[in-house]
Structures are given as C-alpha cells and as structure tokens.
Amino acid sequence: MLQRCLDVLAPALTAPGAVVVDATLGLGGHSEALLRAFPDARLVAVDRDPAALELAGRRLAPYGERATLVHAVYDEIPAVLERLGIPRVQGVLFDLGVSSMQLDEADRGFAYAQDAPLDMRMDQTRGLSAAEVLNTYDHGALARILKVYGEERFAKKIATVIVREREREPFTTSARLVELVRNAIPAATRRTGGNPAKRTFQALRIEVNGELAVLERAVPGALDALAVGGRIAVLSYHSLEDRMVKQWFAAGATSTAPPGLPVVPEEYQPWLKLLTRGAELPTEAEIEENRRAAPARLRAAERIRERKAARP
C-alpha cells in the first residue's frame, strides 16, 4: 500500500522545507519512496534494529543530508526531533510489525516456517529473547501473553505444554515450539487458518519487543509532533495495533464538548480530520504481488488545529 501512503501524505509534503518521519525504517524502501516522491522534503527515519540502519544507510546514501537516520524506537520520536532541533513535522509514516529483513533472516527467529534460534528481538543488543521468555515466565504470564497478544483460544493449554516441556529441556529453537503448539491445538482447528503456531509467534514477538506498549506512547507522540496541516499514515498488521490507532485517531477527531452547548468553544473542537473511512485494505493486485501485505490496514489523519486544554 506504499502508493496509497504517498498519496495520503502528499498534500503536506510538497512545500520546500517539509519534514517527514519514517517511524519504521526497515530496509529503507518507504524512506526512499518518500525522498523520490517529495524532492523538497527532508527525511528523519528511525529504527531500533542496528542491522536495518546499516543496510538502509547504504540505500539512502545518494540522498545525502536530506536523510537523517537515527537508532531509536518509534516512541522516542519526540526526543529525536528535539535533539535535531525540529519543532514540528509535516508527515509521519508508520509501517508496523516485523520487517521483511527480519522475517527473511533465519537466525532472527521471527519466522515459524524455518528452524532458527528463538530470538525475535528487533534490537538484538538489549532485552529478553523469546527463548528466555519461554523458559522463565510462569504459566499465568505465558497464558496471558498468548491470549492477549496472540488472540489464541488455546492459550492456557499451550502454556501448560510449554511449562512442562521446558522442565525436560529448555527451549532454544523454533521448530520444537512449532511442533508443540501444533500438537496442543485440536486437529479440527488445525485444518483452517494456516500454521497454528502463527498466533504464538506473534504473541512472543510483541512481548519481546514491547510493541503495544511502545505503540501506545508512539501514536500520541507522533500526533503531537505534527504541525497544523501535517498528516500521519499508519499501516497495521493485526487487530490489536489497528484498534489502538483507531482509538487515538477517533479521539482526536471527536468533539469533547458537553452536550447542549449552543456554541462549541475551540478547545472542545476536533483537532484531527480522518483521511480514511475506517481502515483501508490492500488491493487484490497488491496481495498477489506481496502475500505479506494481506493483513495490512491503513488509517490516516490530518492535524487541523492546535490542541488547547479544555477549561475545567
């Protein structure tokens, strides 16, 4: 949905001096497209993965000082912009979830289709790995993660199997976990919905990287960084992310005035305008070209005024 993202952001990025933030740099594909589409714009791109920053840096080197790449998590965008002396930006793009590079590199442990060390850290220099989560969290914590982050119906059963099997041998690689999850889920359920381990892997990845907690801070931080007339586009890949983005956008696009006021004071008026009707989905052609785009959901909004605190 790259072209749709560019189209949504375009009205805010055509003026000279416009600044756009790529909150999830990855291999730099979206950043490069932004730099090409908006030749007068400056790019600030962040990523928590040092390997991604190195590869994207080579890709974006021809754009020179127009591209500033920063090792940071996307909830740190306000602090990054402050360090760079940028008070407000005209565009922000989030492409959430795991990057293609991380999925394709077997030793990162993100993909359940191939055996690999159970790491799943987007930044391998910090934090617990997926193996450490599996081997140290108690049954209740594991069940909660699987149920909430993976939306897994059989969370308790899978957690029971994990706790039992780790006493026999600690978890180190993905193939064993995939097999255990498959065996823990009833055969009738396994016949539909793809690999039964995908929900467990999603849950572990979200826990290891604190994705939802980061996103909960990142969206309001990015919205606050937008100048009036600035636009934000967010690509989500599962319902938990999309629901959170929807709630933040809806809150900004809704009047907070008490009912019955004959005239609504400015501080109660919406400060965001929604640019998408609900969540936009990828086209069949986009899914055909890239199967990983299938679960994508795009929401976009424009900042239409400054926020003022409502009177008590």
> Residues at the annotated binding site for S-adenosyl-L-methionine?
28-30, 47, 74, 95, 102
What DSSP character marks residue 237?
-
Beta-carbon contacts of 200 under 8 Å, excluding residues fewer than 6 positions away, are 112, 146, 150, 152, 158, 177, 181
Structure token pair of residue 11: 């009205």
Q: Are β-strands 89-95 and 297-303 bridged in parallel, bridged antiparallel, or unpaired? A: unpaired
Give the full edge-to-edge strand order of the sheet including 272-274. 67-71, 42-47, 19-22, 89-95, 226-236, 297-303, 272-274
Residue whose entry in the numeric block shows the structure tokens 């940071």: 72
Task: Tally helices (H) and strands (E) across the chain.
Answer: 14, 7
Residues tagged in the binding site annotation: 28-30, 47, 74, 95, 102
Decide: residue 176, CB within 10 A, 0-12 exposed, 13-18 middle, 19+ buried.
middle
How far apart are the C-alpha atoms of 181 and 198, rounded to whole Å? 10
Of 144, 140, 245, 153, which Cα lies nearest the Cα of 199?
A: 153
**What are the residues whose beta carbons fall under 8 Å from the beta carbon of 310, sequence distance 6 or more?**
256, 267, 268
The C-alpha atoms of residue 65 and residue 43 are separated, in whole angstroms, by 9
User: Measured between alpha carbons, how far apart are the two ends of the chain, in Å?
Assistant: 43
Per the CB < 8 A criterion, the answer to whether 26 and 101 are in contact is yes
Burial of 300 (0-12, 13-18, 19+ CB in 10 A): buried
